[in-house]
Amino acid sequence: MDKAHPRFGLTTLSVLFHVVLGFVCTADGADPSPKGPFEPLKQHATVPEAEALWTKVVAAEQSVREHIERFAKAKAIEPKQLTQALSAHDDMRTWDLRLQAMGEPVAVDFELRRAFYQARLVEAYNAWLSQPNSAPVRQKAIAQLTKTQQKRMKDLDAIAAALGNGDLQEAETKTDAFKEDLYRLTNILSLDERKPFTEAFETVRSRVESAANADRVSTATAVFKETIDANEMEIQDTLRRIDIAIEGLSRSAQCSWDGNAIDGPTLLNHVSNAYKIAHTKLQSSAMLHRLQNRGIGGSYSIGFSASADDPWSAKSRDLTQAFLDRIAKLIKAESQSVPDDKAKEHYFAMLTTLADIDDRLDQNDWTNATQKGLAELTRKANLSLQVADYDSATSELLYWKEQFASAQAKKIDSHVPLPTICKERLSSSPQQLIGLYSYQPDDPGRPRLLSAIPDLVPLVAKSMGNAKIVANGIRKLDSSKPTWMSQFQAGLYCMMTDNVTLPQQVARLEKELLVDASNPALTLRATTALHSARNGSYISVGCTLQDFVLESPVSRFATFPVPASPLVPLGTVHPQGTQSELTFLLIRFVAKPDWFHHRYFVSRGDAAAITTDQRPLSSN
């Protein structure tokens, strides 16, 4: 049996559920949380076989855990139950190795859990050997094993022959069946008693596992590459479709999209949505790329890239530039072809779509060509003088409001940045080995599986309950249920389901920007300012943590859904780096907002202003 895990305490199973109750249990999903500390990490199932194996390993882990709890209460150990527990424990090892080869994160956590269960099973095993009734049961098993030994040797030869012929599936299927039949009898024997019957099998089994899982690595790598290539083809095809539509728009006031005749603002909406989809595809490709070029030999060797070079940040910037360039061309084409009597209506419609993109960019990446196209549209709409006057009246106002809000936010010192407080409270140490951050100086600064998740859940619950934190980059998700999320910071983010829009502050900003039902904002900057305020987009939010869920970045990003796209700023890729992604975690906290820092105002959660003094800061 494997060496026992050194950190899981004997009382973990019984104490765990009491410790985690410090957090209110409101988190959704099947990933581990205070209300489900033994839940498994979700699978991404990019490789077809992974979903079935994930189901098997989860069932095996539950079976082992239930048997251990039963053994702890039993007056005597039943041989049938002991055999079932030990077989399920070995099944965990079998499925873990296969899932590791496919880049599934549950394998890392379950490998750590299996080490803890090993120690508990050794205790049950020793208790069984000391029972008076164990000797005759073992003698009967030895007699049966001796009687069937010759047949088993022939079966082993058949497995070796299948392996030699390159039929890995047959070899593995026969090995699994052989193991189940053999372990049913040998699991109740002492180590010395079982060795004559298991030694030859373990040698063959090791060869089969090594070959079959190496083949799975190759298969998974090919599947990942196929998905990455498909994503790239889809993105390039979308860009070509956009180019064709823009060319059509430049010749007339309409173009074709999906067989329908549409105008410029509608095309811009389609391009905006295509940008979001392409952004999520690129996030998925980046994660799958990091799962390539892996080796077998333990979960901590899985997920390292063969090269330290990570091209995906550059690819993300290139993708953004490709879309922004086309948006500039689209606006130019629109300004050339739109009828004069439609120019004003189209200008304001396009500002709204542009503001949505602008709000989600990591920084202002709009090109001069975009501004020139908008200027041409305003000329056609006879709005040039109005826009110029409006820009003059509002630009300085927005500049000083931004400076004032930034200064006000800096005065709020009752909350701590989320990455800072997490690393401070969740780091391991030479004395306290359990943690999500290593005390070693080369720790990557992202939470990771240094211990099994049932060890980590109570640590997070105890250390982070009701913590006052600052989360950055709050954006509303594109989902049916109103949900706001902070953008990822070093593997951490927050979810807020309360309404985080501030009507009083929005109304004030509208008044300052001279906007009402009949008079929209006339510039992109002002439109973006109002769009972000109305949509609940904030630079940062001070929060009180209420609950959490542990996730894997691999599962989150390998199949990154479009509605989650706001979690990563357009033009960037997450996570950064190429270290062993399977060992890392994401922590999604559920939080209650306390105060808000919008680009142009700061407010408390009750919508009362931090200060009633809204005069611009002095430039001195």
Over residues 465-519, the pLDDT tens digits come to 999 999 999 999 987 788 999 999 999 999 998 778 899 999 999 999 999 999 9
Query: Stretch 294-304: mean pLDDT, rounded?
Result: 40
Q: Note the pLDDT of residue 579.
A: 56
**Are residues 459 and 593 both part of a single domain?**
yes
Among 198, 219, 240, the domain boundary falls at 219
Residue 598's pLDDT is: 96
Residues whose CB is less than 8 angstroms from the CB of residue 394 and which lie 6 or more positions away in sequence, other chains included: 513, 514, 521, 523, 525, 526
Determine contact, residues 359/531, Cβ cutoff 8 Å: yes
Contacts of 85 (CB under 8 A, 6+ apart): 63, 64, 67, 68, 71, 121, 124
| Confidence category of residue 254, pLDDT binned at 50, 70, 90 | very high
pLDDT at 39: 96
Query: Looking at residue 30, what is its pLDDT?
Result: 72
Average pLDDT (4-27) is 39
Contacts of 114 (CB under 8 A, 6+ apart): 2, 61, 64, 89, 92, 93, 96
Q: Are 288 and 208 in contact (CB under 8 A)?
A: no
Instruction: Kindly state whether residue 124 falls inside one of the protein's structural domains.
Output: yes
89-94 average pLDDT score: 97
Q: Is the predicted pLDDT of residue 401 greater than 80, yes or no?
A: yes
Same domain, 206 and 260: no
DSSP designation for 298: S
Tokens of 216: 């799975």
- pLDDT computed for residue 290 by the predictor: 86
Q: How confident is the model at residue 606 (pLDDT cuts 50, 70, 90)?
A: low
Mean pLDDT of 282-293: 88
Query: How far is it, in rounded angstroms, from Cα 126 to Cα 512?
Result: 78
Q: What is the pLDDT of residue 324?
A: 92
Do residues 291 and 201 both lie within one domain? no
Residue 398 has pLDDT above 80, yes or no: yes
The answer to whether residues 277 and 195 belong to one domain is no
How does pLDDT run across 160-176, given as a tens digit for each residue? 999 999 999 999 999 99
Residue 164 lies in a domain: yes
The answer on 422 and 569 residing in a single domain is yes
pLDDT of 318 > 80? The answer is yes
- Residues in contact with 282: Cβ distance below 8 Å, sequence separation at least 6, in sequence order: 231, 235, 312, 315, 316, 319, 573
Domain annotation covers residue 328: yes
- pLDDT band of 207, cuts 50, 70, 90: very high
Vertex 550 angle, CA 459 and 463, to 5°: 25
Query: Same domain for 213 and 259?
Result: no
Is there a single domain that holds both residue 24 and residue 130? yes
437 shares its domain with 563:
yes
Measured between alpha carbons, how far is 125 from 169 in angstroms, rounded to an integer?
A: 33
The 3-state DSSP composition of the chain as helix, strand, coil percent (nearest 5) reads 60, 10, 30
Whether residue 362 is predicted with pLDDT greater than 90 in this model: the reply is no
Mean pLDDT, residues 215-223: 93
> Does 614 have pLDDT greater than 80?
no
* Together in a domain, 199 and 260: no
Using CA atoms, how far apart are residues 456 and 583, in angstroms rounded to an integer?
A: 13
Confidence of residue 311 (pLDDT cuts 50, 70, 90): confident
**Considering the domain boundaries, does residue 241 fall inside one?**
no
Residue 159 pLDDT class (50, 70, 90 cuts): very high
Round to whole Å and give the CA distance between 212 and 171. 9
Whether 145 and 43 map to the same domain: the answer is yes
pLDDT tier at 364, thresholds 50, 70, 90:
low
Mean pLDDT is lowest, of 328-337, 366-375, 488-497, 583-592, for 366-375
Domain assignment present for residue 430? The answer is: yes
Q: 5 in helix, strand or coil?
A: coil
Residues 358 and 425 grouped into a single domain? yes
Largest interatomic CA distance in the chain: 101
User: Of 336, 340, 337, 323, which Cα lies nearest the Cα of 268?
Assistant: 323
In a domain, 235, yes or no: no
Q: Is 545 helix (H, G, I), strand (E, B) or coil?
A: strand
Residue 307 pLDDT class (50, 70, 90 cuts)? very low
Q: State the residue range of the domain holding 45.
A: 12-219
Percent of the chain with pLDDT over 90: 77
Q: Does residue 358 carry a pLDDT above 50? A: yes
pLDDT band of 294, cuts 50, 70, 90: low
pLDDT tens-place string over residues 341-354: 999 999 999 999 99
Regarding whether 283 and 210 lie in a shared domain, the answer is no
Whether the bond between 575 and the residue before it is cis, its omega within 30 degrees of 0, is yes
Domain-embedded: residue 567: yes
What average pLDDT does range 53-71 have in this prediction? 97
Q: What's the number of domains the chain is made of? A: 2
- Report the candidate in 88, 101, 95 with the shortest Cα–Cα distance to residue 55: 95
- Asked whether residue 412 is assigned to any structural domain, the reply reads yes
- Average pLDDT taken over every residue of the chain: 88
Interatomic CA distance for residues 207 and 110, integer angstroms: 23
- pLDDT at 43 > cutoff 70: yes
Q: Are 352 and 311 in contact (CB under 8 A)?
A: no
Among 197, 219, 241, identify where a domain stops.
Answer: 219
Please tell me the predicted confidence (pLDDT) of residue 412.
Answer: 84
Angstrom CA distances, 140 to 229, 402, 543, stand at 58, 82, 64
How much is the pLDDT for 158? 96
